[in-house]
Structure 1
Amino acid sequence: MITWRRGEVVDIRREWRGAVELTVRIEDDGNAGASVRALAYPELVGRPEPGDTVLLNTTAQTMGLGTGGYALVVALPDRLPADPPAGPGHLVKGRYSPLQAVVLGADEQDSPHHDVLRDADDLGAMPVVVADLHSALPAICAGVRAVRPGARIVYVMTDGGALPAWFSMTAAALREAGWLAGTVTTGQAVGGDLEAVTVHTGLLAARHVLGADIAVVTQGPGNLGTDTRWGFSGVAAGEAVNAAAALGGRAVAALRISDADARERHQGISHHSLTAYGRVALVAADVIVPEVAEPLASQLVADVAPLRARHRVVTVPVDGLDEALRSAPVKLSTMGRGLDEDYAHFLASAAAGRHAATLLPPTTAPTTTA
């Protein structure tokens, strides 16, 4: 189930918040001497340095995975990190796996935020934009900022894709650019500014601890699918709609749309969106359809029809969103396709962000003194 290799760190290629990318020379298989690209999370395994021996999980590379095509550092056997300092926190993530880690949850008793979250159960009509793919995140932020550039956006990351938030260069760059106010990792996901047990407490922490005006809920990088109606990780988008509504939020459903994906099940409105919002979401959301040109416009009208029985289908104009998308501080990419290669995908996500921003109360002009 796991492909193991031992190697030596050759150099550090680059790093971002929570992650270090390495070149590692393999030592112990038929390709001994070959170099691989590897990723280490210093919070879990310590910080590798050139010359260190590392134990690698090379399963993703063996399988030829795109998003997760790194060898992952599991341990530095000759230079173990120091024991973490004693302190509060008893949430175990990656439970009973070899890399289970203890973190301080925003919602647990030892947290300084526990008093705030203990009885919290209301988002105060905060817009919650829900999407299937992680690639929607920067486009949603772009759409929000096109209307309300000062809005505080918090990313609530579910555990359907990558578990470490540190894996996401996108989230790190958005945070550095000021497009995100923070990240909350929920379920088995780990590494956010705040940790939470569930999407529900993740949303409450986003609102009441990080001061979010808008939350964006989606999985981390990577999307698991099986070409079946129900066997895909994005089904959790429907559950996120339910969570937002249960807490008094305003759910905004970003549709997964494409006119570039070669797979029929993802052309127009993806079957992922139709299942998640049409079957799993049990309460009404604002389902956002971008104003696009023919022939895609007619296809979207037909595709979205089954969702009208439960949801509020809102058509959103897209003027100005091209500039907003091109101003993103990260490269836009979905399934290996960039902005111009799968324009409709990013436009749909940006339209959802624009709509969410229109749901915010008007800003109050600052008081001036003569």
Structure 2
Amino acid sequence: MLRMAVGMVSRVMEKRQGMQIIEVQLGEGEQKETAQAISFADESYEPGEMLILNTTAIRLKLGTGGFHLVVAKAGDHTERDLAQGNWGHVMKMRYAPWQLAVDTVEEQASPFHQLFLREDLSLEATPVIIGELHSLLPVVAAALKCHGKMGRIAYVMPDAASLPASMSRHVQQLKAKGMLDAVITTGHAWGGDREAVTIHSGLLAARHIEKADVILCMLGPGVAGTGTPYGFSGVQLSEVVHAVSVLGGIPYFLPRLSFADPRPRHRGVSHHTLAILGRYVLRPVLLLMPKTGGDREQLMRSQIASFQESNKHVVVWGECGSETRLADLEQEYGLPFASMGRGWREDPIPFLTAVLAADQAVLSLGYIKERINAGSDCSASPDMLAALGLYLTRNEGLL
């Protein structure tokens, strides 16, 4: 299904970097409707102009935020550049009507090309916090930045969900608040401060170009799911884990948790997390789990028991922070913390776990630095992760 329509501009409702929200009129007579459309083009719109709109998602009542998508101005045949670059010859969204050339960090004309010719390039034991839910990105970033000595934070956005980074209001807000230093869009995702062809080079760009001390890698907004352990956007995180591991980073996995989701498959530890870590990931991770006590913790422990029995992953259980801290972080961030339509007061566990992940990553930095200075192994090997997990467990509460 591909639904297209022509609509008339009423007004530009919002304009931010990389994106505009436009009020449009569609149809005639009794079929006339007022709707909103998103444009990613770098051009101006005036009331009365006619636009070609992709209406497919709204007609299917999908969760695109309630927007049509602007394809082009109807009847305007002037050739012009709507997404200007500097050296880019690499196409993203290849062979789609909106394919565009972007300035990738790796290509020959890039000022960083020589960097990516190095075969020994690594992440240098940089912590990478990996998670499925984009809604937890601001919680992790805000919790990281609240630590006074926290350095630079980069967000690497894969392409399993939203492709344009400008779709994320969180990215815009985090950068405006100084809680995020750089955004790198990888694969067919586009619109970051840096563009990369692969998740591997995107992670390396975060470390070596943006000088990130901690890297966040979570899917963009608009993930897809089918109620099966095979067809969901989060499967791509297995590729992220492998990339971090083989490139010499430290993979911290932020699980998808909930005790308010009405769907049994997402209660406690989501079947998405269990599928990713249980079947698809071939390298060990540091899995960060919250101590809740009672039946909830017992349920989560039983759900991940196979990981611990097989020693496939290093599980680090940490004390949950206070909800007061969540409230303070939310106030500092300036927008509500919400995930899957629920605020943190309705379902605090996923948000508290995101804070825990940030704290554990910060606590790790000193230990990793000591090992590097001592010439010890800092790869994401089972022994290194086990040693780091033991350090985190013994030093819990030091931050």
Fold match (TM-score > 0.5): yes
CA RMSD of aligned residues (A): 2.1
Distance 2:30 2:122 in 1: 57
* 2:319 equivalent in structure 1: 317
In the superposition, relative to structure 1, how do residues 92 and 28 fare at CA in structure 2: closer, same or farther (>3 Å)? farther
* 2:353 equivalent in structure 1: 348
* Secondary structure of residue in 2 paired with 1:206: helix
Distance 2:148 2:199 in 1: 25
Cα deviation 1:162-207 (Å, max 9, x = unaligned):
1100111111110111111111000110111101011100000000
Distance 1:67 1:150 in 2: 34
**Mapping of residues 240-259 of structure 1, within 5 Å:** 240-259=240-259
* 1:361 equivalent in structure 2: 366
* 1:90 equivalent in structure 2: 89
Pairwise CA distance, 1:81 = 6.3
Distance 2:301 2:178 in 1: 36
Distance 1:109 1:283 in 2: 32
Structure 2 letter corresponding to 1:88? W
- Partners of 2:144 and 2:150 within 8 A in 1: no
Moved more, 210-219 or 323-332: 323-332
Structure 2 letter corresponding to 1:55? I
- Partners of 1:174 and 1:330 within 8 A in 2: no
Moved more, 274-283 or 208-217: 274-283
Structure 2, unaligned stretches of length 5 or more?
A: 370-399
Distance 2:176 2:354 in 1: 21
Structure 2 letter corresponding to 1:344? I
In the superposition, relative to structure 1, how do residues 249 and 30 fare at CA in structure 2: closer, same or farther (>3 Å)? farther
Q: How many residues align?
A: 361
Distance 1:22 1:293 in 2: 48
Pairwise CA distance, 1:101 = 0.5
Distance 1:153 1:24 in 2: 38
Distance 2:29 2:148 in 1: 54
Distance 1:71 1:149 in 2: 43
In the superposition, relative to structure 1, how do residues 287 and 86 fare at CA in structure 2: closer, same or farther (>3 Å)? closer
Cα deviation 1:294-341 (Å, max 9, x = unaligned):
332221111221222211100122225424542333322222112212
Distance 2:29 2:101 in 1: 34
Distance 1:265 1:296 in 2: 15
- TM-score normalised by length of structure 2: 0.85
- TM-score normalised by length of structure 1: 0.92
Q: As a proportion of its length, which structure holds more helix?
A: 2
Moved more, 293-302 or 84-93: 84-93
Distance 2:328 2:126 in 1: 23
Structure 1, unaligned stretches of length 5 or more?
A: 365-370
Identity among equivalent positions (%) equals 36
* 1:63 equivalent in structure 2: 60
* 1:367 equivalent in structure 2: none
Moved more, 82-91 or 261-270: 82-91
* Secondary structure of residue in 2 paired with 1:359: helix
* 1:51 equivalent in structure 2: 48
Structure 2 letter corresponding to 1:335? M
